[in-house]
């Protein structure tokens, strides 16, 4: 299937300032070869209120101070509100029982605690759930929850679409792209907790500033902990390349990891990158979560074709950056993702070269073999189960763990690389219809 390059379609210069309107601020998000200028942030809310979701304690303190609280009150209020938002999942200031009743309308007038809107929720026969979400400025993106016997993993998106064009990935064919804000990234985790009913019901109020509060204690809620939760892990493996939205992903994950907030341990969070080498060390230092790398091929030719960012940052450079990744050790291995494409990257020789490379760079590695998930018009097929088994055996026999990932949620297009929003699908269907009409008109 001929594929246009999303990056080239988007590579337009910033337009002139028309009719005195302010030009849209642009930020360069790298495409697979060159930066792609895109709208920087979201449109502000029409009602002028500030959405607190995604903000750190320090940032909430700042917006409270800017709204007129004195520094001490701003700091204390921020501590209380942070706890209510992220630890308790509260979306109304009125429910914040340790804040004076007289103070709550002041907050409600100036601030909101938002969530991305849910456009559609789907459930797979295997228990996987997928949500189509919409930003306040009408961009659609997706989030997936994958329940297992011993864990529940939320697959979180970092961008709407992706500026890279990995040839086997459906998201890579999307045109529309904007970075998700920290609020939209944290908002996905909040929404999942809402949907799974995982917020404590009551109690746990903090020592505050006010007498005018409801007295509420509940031992069960005080004891609320990570044990027994459905959502235990997060993978940054939804739409987008998280390292091309570095600041927002970092800020969002810091909120997710905060002990007084969502309190997920960095050991339960994995960031997957297609290989943005210059930002990998910073990811280790500033975020410190587990690293997964979308390797997918062991030769320059094949990786250049299927993961085009390889033309910019080659395999050797990538593996050197992995070897230097802060925090990687035998106890915390780097995951190398390898999509199994029939007759493309799945030979015995490929498996042996993979082993050689991982050993050459002395990488504390595990390999995740992903059967290719098909999508309409995809230019590849999945390797046969026998081929995948043989590939896995070769890597295992060399002493490197190489399990085959069971595809999840394929019936609702929720599996790896199948994410592409309904809005986009519709516009593609529309394009197909127009192409057919044109063909018919030509006779």
Residues serving a catalytic function are 142, 416
Structure tokens at 297: 């091929």
Residue 241 sits in the site that holds ligand SF4 (CB under 6 A): yes
Which residue of this chain has its Cβ atom nearest to ligand SF4 in the complex?
172
Q: Which is nearer to ligand SF4, 204 or 242 (CB)?
A: 242
Q: According to the binding rule CB under 6 A, does residue 245 interact with ligand SF4? A: no
Closest approach of ligand SF4 to the CB of residue 408, in Å: 17
Q: Report the first-to-last Cα separation within the chain, whole angstroms.
A: 23
Bridge partners for 130 per DSSP: 122, 144
| Cβ at position 64, least distance to ligand SAH in Å | 35
**Residue 270 makes contact with ligand SF4 by CB under 6 A:** no
Stretch that binds ligand SF4, among 41-49, 53-61, 167-175, 222-230 (CB under 6 A): 167-175
Q: Looking at beta carbons only, is 274 or 345 nearer to ligand SF4?
A: 274
Q: Does 371 bind ligand SF4 (CB under 6 A)?
A: no
Sign, CA dihedral 40-51-232-286, equals: positive
Contact indicator for 369, 346 with CB cutoff of 8 Å:
no
Which of ligand SF4, ligand SAH, none does residue 423 bind to, with CB < 5 to 8 Å depending on kind? none
CB of 249 to ligand SAH, least distance (A): 11
User: CA-CA distance, 301 to 70, in Å (whole number)?
Assistant: 61
| The binder of ligand SF4 chosen from 172, 183, 261, 288 (CB under 6 A) | 172
Contact between 144 and ligand SF4 by CB under 6 A: the answer reads no
Residue 38 engages ligand SF4 in binding (rule: CB under 6 A):
no
**Sign of the torsion angle spanned by Cα atoms 174, 291, 127, 416:** positive
Q: DSSP letter string over 154-188?
A: EE--SEES-SS--TT-SGGG----EEPPHHHHHHH
Residues 264 and 231: their CA atoms lie apart, in Å, by 10
DSSP string for residues in 282-308:
HIIIII--EEEEE---SSHHHHHHHSG
Residues 193 and 89: beta-carbon distance below 8 Å: yes
Q: Examine residue 345 and tell whether it contacts ligand SF4 (CB under 6 A).
A: no
Beta strand 178-179 with 334-340: parallel, antiparallel or unpaired? unpaired
Taking the C-alpha atoms of residue 151 and residue 165, their distance in angstroms, rounded to an integer, is 31
Stretch that binds ligand SF4, among 80-88, 160-168, 221-229, 317-325 (CB under 6 A): 160-168
Taking the least distance from each CB to ligand SF4, the nearer of 133 and 355 is 133
59-78 footprint of ligand SF4 as x/- string (CB under 6 A):
--------------------
Establish if 162 lies at the interface with ligand SF4 (CB under 6 A): yes
Find the shortest distance in angstroms from Cβ 294 to ligand SF4: 6
Binding site for ligand SAH (CB under 6 A): 166, 168-169, 237, 241, 272-274, 294, 337, 339, 370, 372-373, 416-417
Q: In the bound complex, what is the minimum distance in angstroms from residue 192's beta carbon to ligand SF4?
A: 20
- Other C-beta atoms closer than 10 Å to the C-beta of 138 total 9
Strands (E) located in 297-400: 334-340, 365-371
Distance between CA atoms of residues 375 and 410, nearest Å: 10
The length of the chain in residues reads 443
Minimum Å gap between C-beta 237 and ligand SAH is: 4
Query: Are 273 and 243 a contacting pair, CB within 8 Å?
Result: yes
Residue 237 binds which entry of ligand SAH, ligand SF4, none, CB below 5-8 Å type-dependent: ligand SAH
**Binding-site member from 169, 185, 388, 414 for ligand SF4 (CB under 6 A):** 169
3-state helix, strand and coil shares in percent for the chain, rounded to the nearest 5? 35, 15, 45
Instruction: Residue 232: name its binding partner from ligand SF4, ligand SAH, none (Cβ under 5 to 8 Å by kind).
Output: none
Whole-number minimum distance, CB 344 to ligand SAH, in Å?
Answer: 12
Hey, what are 42's tokens?
């979201």
Q: Judged by CB under 6 A, does residue 275 bind ligand SF4? A: no
Could you list the residues that contact ligand SF4 (CB under 6 A)? 162, 164-166, 169, 171-172, 240-241, 274, 294
């Amino acid at each position: 299937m001929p594929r246009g390059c999303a990056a080239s379609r988007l590579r337009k210069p910033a337009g002139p300032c028309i009719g005195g309107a302010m030009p849209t601020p642009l930020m360069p998000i790298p495409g697979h070869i060159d930066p792609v200028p895109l709208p920087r942030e979201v449109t502000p809310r029409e009602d002028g209120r500030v959405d607190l979701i995604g903000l750190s304690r320090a940032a909430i303190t700042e917006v409270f101070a800017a709204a007129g609280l004195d520094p001490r009150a701003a700091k204390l209020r921020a501590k209380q509100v942070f706890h209510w938002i992220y630890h308790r999942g509260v979306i109304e200031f009125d429910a914040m029982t340790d804040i004076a009743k007289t103070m709550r309308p002041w907050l409600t007038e100036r601030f909101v605690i938002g969530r991305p809107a849910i456009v559609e929720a789907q459930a797979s026969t295997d228990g996987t759930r997928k949500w189509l979400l919409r930003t306040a400025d009408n961009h659609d993106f997706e989030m997936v929850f994958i329940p297992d016997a011993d864990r529940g993993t939320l697959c979180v998106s970092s961008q709407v679409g992706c500026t890279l064009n990995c040839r086997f990935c459906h998201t890579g064919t999307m045109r529309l792209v904007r970075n998700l804000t920290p609020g939209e990234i944290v908002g996905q985790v909040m929404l999942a907790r809402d949907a799974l009913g995982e917020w404590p019901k009551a109690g746990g109020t903090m020592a505050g500033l006010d007498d005018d509060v409801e007295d509420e204690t509940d031992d069960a809620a005080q004891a609320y902990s990570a044990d027994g939760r459905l959502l235990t892990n997060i993978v940054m493996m939804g739409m987008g390349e998280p390292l091309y939205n570095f600041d927002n992903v970092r800020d969002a994950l810091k909120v997710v990891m905060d002990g007084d907030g969502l309190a997920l341990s960095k050991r339960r969070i994995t960031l997957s990158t297609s290989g943005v080498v210059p930002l990998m060390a910073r990811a280790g230092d500033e975020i410190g979560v587990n690293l997964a790398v979308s390797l997918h091929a062991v030769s320059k030719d094949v990786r250049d074709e299927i993961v085009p960012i390889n033309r910019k940052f080659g395999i050797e450079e990538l593996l050197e950056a992995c070897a230097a990744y802060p925090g990687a050790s035998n106890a915390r291995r780097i995951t190398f993702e390898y999509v199994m494409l029939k007759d493309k990257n799945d030979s015995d020789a490929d498996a042996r070269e993979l082993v050689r490379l991982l050993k050459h760079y002395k990488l504390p590695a595990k390999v995740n073999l992903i059967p290719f998930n098909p999508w309409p018009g995809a230019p590849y097929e999945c390797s046969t189960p026998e081929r995948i088994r043989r590939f896995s055996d070769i890597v295992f026999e060399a002493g490197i763990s190489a399990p085959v990932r069971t595809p999840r949620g394929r019936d609702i297009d929720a599996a790896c690389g199948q994410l592409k929003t309904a809005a986009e699908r519709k516009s593609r269907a529309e394009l197909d219809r127009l192409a057919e009409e044109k063909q018919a008109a030509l006779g």
